[in-house]
Amino acid sequence: MNKKFKAGIVGITAACGLLGIAACGSKSSSNLSAGESNTDRTIKIEATTNSGVGSAVVSVPDAVESQTDNFTSTWSKTVTGAASHKDVNVYVAGNYQASSSQEVSCTILVNGKVVAHQSMTGSNANVYCATDGQTS
């Protein structure tokens, strides 16, 4: 198991514990609707922070994929093909040394429709978004 994957899982596990989120597990289904092919679905994941520095931990548990990206102000990732039919989770943290006016947010869109959005303000602001089986 590579270090980046371990860090992502640890980050998501810590985020779930920190945020008290009971639904941090993912569903183990392909999430394909009747008549839908592996190329029909597009997932766009977005993260923002007004503190200038943020970190996004993205996980596709059913595909055993995880990545951590540091970003400045805004960040996005688009998932297509077979991986887009898996549940996607994102944990976003801002700068822990930022002021109490720091804002962070995450948004997940499936085929252009918002299926998850969270935002938080504060010096320790962090948010979690997941598709949780939503197919469109």
Tokens linked to 54: 């943020």
What was the pLDDT predicted at 135?
62
pLDDT at residue 2 is higher than 50: no
Count: domains in the chain: 1
CATH code, domain with 94? 2.60.40.2880
What does the block give as tokens for 29?
């289904």
pLDDT mean over 91-95: 91
Q: What is the pLDDT of residues 45-91, one digit of tens each?
A: 999 999 888 899 988 766 667 888 899 999 999 988 887 888 889 99
In the block, tokens 């102000």 appear at 73
Domain of residue 74, residue span: 3-23+38-130
In this predicted model, what pLDDT tens digit does every residue of 106-131 receive, in sequence order? 999 999 999 999 999 998 899 999 99
pLDDT at 77: 92
Whole-model pTM: value is: 0.69
Instruction: For residue 44, tell me if it sits in a domain.
Output: yes
Note whether residue 33 is domain-resident: no
Matching residue, tokens 């993205």: 58
31-39 — which CB contacts under 8 Å span 24+ positions? 31/85, 31/86, 31/87, 31/131, 31/133, 31/135, 32/85, 32/135, 33/135, 33/136, 36/85, 36/135, 38/81, 38/82, 38/84, 38/85, 39/80, 39/81
